[in-house]
Structure 1
């Protein structure tokens, strides 16, 4: 049993840890909301060379197998047999309203025969624990090849701050009625938009 003075000291230490001094826990991928706790991962600008060990997380914080090459915008060549569509995408950017990160996806036929594909795109924000966290995905649309405002998808996420942050746009294309390869191309850019 603690004596009076020792017990008061223990209570004071415990209170300072509980009330104002959250301990600096190691940063983990499960800190997916990028909260402001000391040591928690937060959004930022991805340093060069960070791709080699980067992890992609879905909106629930689960690791994803993105199968991307070390440089954004390129993908490993798949070994599957099938046609190769061209996945069109723009760089992540501030939307016309200026309050959201935005990106688009479309496709071109490449060497595929069919003229319809299911297309969607997702936005990923970089965090200081070297994770790319999925912040928004478009709905999946059946599109003709080509792009333009009527033949594309749009992913969008409202900004909570205007600090410069790295974002990636990933586009997925599945040609209808035809086996196609599974490239997962990305475009990356820094945008004055941050989600906390």
Structure 2
């Protein structure tokens, strides 16, 4: 009886495999989940890509920890009104996000010019944001704040930089913040946007 049940050769192997599958459950589920992963992301999840040609004002900004950022007026409405009445407007210099000349990385720079301001020192920093298919701009790198003279140039600018995961073309923004020292100034964070052969996520 035992010999008839077990059989021999291929039949025996088939019975053993079938029995093992029944004991441990459906073994196809993990394989299906694994095959749904694309580039480390679950299929259908938000991934970096090319932003729409027309800037979408409804896009959400996320900081490095995934929290929603207020990119409208960084210093608040009161400061904006005060600056408009008594303050000055610096020129926030920035370049397009671009591939770094050293290594496979994306980078962007920030600097300033005096505009209508009188003081000749400002605290400047810039941050890089990568666009995702869920219409979010996600912060990937920020420079350290630096006290700079106006004018730009290699010695008077900040740099934000992040190594690329691969060279797939992706949309990036470089936002710059300028805070003139000992002078009230407008709080905008202007940006330049460009597509770069660099994907970070």
Cα separation, 1, equivalents of 2:153 and 2:144: 17
Q: 92, 95, 99: which one pairs with 1:94?
A: 99
Aligned to 2:88: 83
Deviations 1:137-191 (A, max 9, x none): 0000000000000000000000111111000000000001011110110100000
The answer to whether residue 25 in structure 2 is matched with residue 11 in structure 1 is: yes
Which of structures 1 and 2 has the bigger CA Rg?
2
Aligned to 2:32: 20
Cα separation, 2, equivalents of 1:127 and 1:17: 28
Aligned to 2:59: 54
Q: What's the CA shift for 1:38?
A: 1.2
Q: What's the CA shift for 1:52?
A: 2.5
Q: What's the CA shift for 1:17?
A: 3.9
Q: 133, 138, 143: which one pairs with 2:143?
A: 138
What runs of 5+ residues in structure 2 fail to find an aligned partner?
A: 1-18, 74-79
Deviations 1:109-143 (A, max 9, x none): 11111100000000000001100000000000000
Cα separation, 2, equivalents of 1:63 and 1:35: 24
More helix by share: 2
Displaced runs of 4 or more, over 2 A? 8-11, 15-24, 78-81
Aligned to 2:16: none
SS of aligned partner of 1:21: helix
Cα separation, 1, equivalents of 2:169 and 2:32: 29
Q: TM-score, normalised by structure 2?
A: 0.78
Q: Tell me how large the CA RMSD over aligned residues is.
A: 2.3
The answer to whether residue 180 in structure 2 is matched with residue 175 in structure 1 is: yes
The aligned runs of 1:141-160 (5 Å cut-off) are 141-160=146-165
Cα separation, 2, equivalents of 1:127 and 1:88: 25
Aligned to 1:66: 71
Cα separation, 2, equivalents of 1:93 and 1:80: 36
Q: What's the CA shift for 1:23?
A: 11
The aligned runs of 1:97-108 (5 Å cut-off) are 97-108=102-113
Q: What's the CA shift for 1:50?
A: 5.2
What runs of 5+ residues in structure 1 fail to find an aligned partner?
A: 25-33, 69-77
Aligned to 2:194: 189
